[in-house]
Structure 1
């Protein structure tokens, strides 16, 4: 398979773009970095994009396993359902009526046992939805915009900030737009996560009830989620074949939940997390049928 050239603002973005285009994880791609991306003077003058060459690794083993999976599915469909043998009905012998005044064993067994009354437990009331006034929402937006404008001003990075408050999820959604958003994303979204955490601290400082803050740019969160779900499926495939555990790279809690959720219904593998933050990671192990 020939190499395909992919261009993006940073190498990480180019790799993510390649994963989406080839519909697989980076482990299954052969990647050659042709040119590192540079931001240039003031973030845009003389900037150069990152260029990589990518092609999918040839994996003959996967084709064989797919054949085996198809065979197993056919076997499961063709497997005859064993009929349960019906036992012959036993003839009921007439029961003699006991004499008056005698108590039989059956009568003593059929006495009703009064259940012990259980202690009444108070029902937990569902959490009431937070209702915020228009003034509170505007205050949140102003605090977030003031903080982020100061950060981007210090970075000398022109960024267009768009904010929307989701009443249903009680979440302040913030989106960035600009020429070089790869700087704000950082390696595997670490810079974006840091901005989200700091903005959340600033916004919730004046709030009585906690409000969620979600920071995104160029739909990175959704693209990252798709890449991780695809990675989880490929790792599960590998673990099922080799029956050896695979340790993934350290991830934040949000990304670990994506991996756990993607493989939750898999009958051949299971996942768990181990280690301490910020090096906590997911382990995928074989559990068999």
Structure 2
């Protein structure tokens, strides 16, 4: 039950009754006053109660998970979604078969899904919600691969005393490269180009 229409001697009384029926709090609902209470003749006859509609606000995380599951189903993929709440945000991990289709080339499909999931979650949310999407631990494997690549290319830049240009990456992946090499002696990194073709340059100082 997502909404109820209730009546009471006053709007406040009707709202309290609605909250009780929905077993929720005032912060979690939208309240619409349909009719104000009216006193009868001499306060006795012909009075009308207040009528209000009490409706549960959408849960942004539940809405996002529902959207993600429906999207995965429409793609013809059999998978499940698990939620993990951490300090930095909500993590949704997808597990199942043919997960590579959801990841896409260099995680591009997964990034697109993550963008859409965040749009859905924040469509009706009062406070910004940050959702991170992963599939079978892909993000961690990609992070480790980028760190290894960064170290290998920094060694090449030092050895050849020449700049090394990486392939275009999204902002999150570029940050991993920058962070990995920020304390490497004799090496500097900077980004070049425009999105979506922005890339990192690893250069000797």
Asked if TM exceeds 0.5, the reply is yes
Distance of 1:202 and 1:182 partners within structure 2: 23
Please identify runs of 4+ aligned residues in structure 1 that moved more than 4 A.
Answer: 133-138
More strand by share: 2
Does the 8 A contact of 2:186 with 2:204 survive in 1? yes
Cα 1:196–1:212 change in 2 (3 A) is: same
Aligned equivalent of 1:222: 140
Distance of 1:175 and 1:134 partners within structure 2: 27
Of 115, 140, 165, the match for 2:60? 140
Aligned equivalent of 2:199: 281
Aligned: 1:267 with 2:191:
no
Does the 8 A contact of 1:137 with 1:165 survive in 2? no
Partner SS for 1:196: helix
Of 150, 165, 189, the match for 1:232? 150
Does the 8 A contact of 2:58 with 2:124 survive in 1? no
Shift of 1:138: 8.1
Aligned equivalent of 1:159: 79
Distance of 1:193 and 1:145 partners within structure 2: 16
Shift of 1:158: 1.2
Q: Which has the larger Rg?
A: 1
Distance of 1:138 and 1:219 partners within structure 2: 29
Of 192, 213, 216, the match for 2:131? 213
Of 179, 184, 203, the match for 2:97? 179
Tell which deviates more after alignment, 141-150 or 173-182: 141-150
TM-score (norm 2): 0.70
Partner SS for 2:59: helix
Cα 1:157–1:281 change in 2 (3 A) is: same
What 5-or-longer segments of structure 1 have no aligned partner?
A: 1-132
Distance of 1:223 and 1:242 partners within structure 2: 29
What 5-or-longer segments of structure 2 have no aligned partner?
A: 1-26, 30-55
Distance of 2:57 and 2:151 partners within structure 1: 40
Query: 1:34-89: per-residue Cα shift (whole Å, max 9, x none)?
Result: xxxxxxxxxxxxxxxxxxxxxxxxxxxxxxxxxxxxxxxxxxxxxxxxxxxxxxxx
Distance of 2:117 and 2:72 partners within structure 1: 13
Aligned alpha-carbon RMSD (Å): 2.0
Of 40, 48, 70, the match for 1:150? 70
Cα 1:266–1:204 change in 2 (3 A) is: same
Distance of 2:128 and 2:204 partners within structure 1: 40
Superposed, 1:106-145 pairs within 5 Å as 139-145=59-65
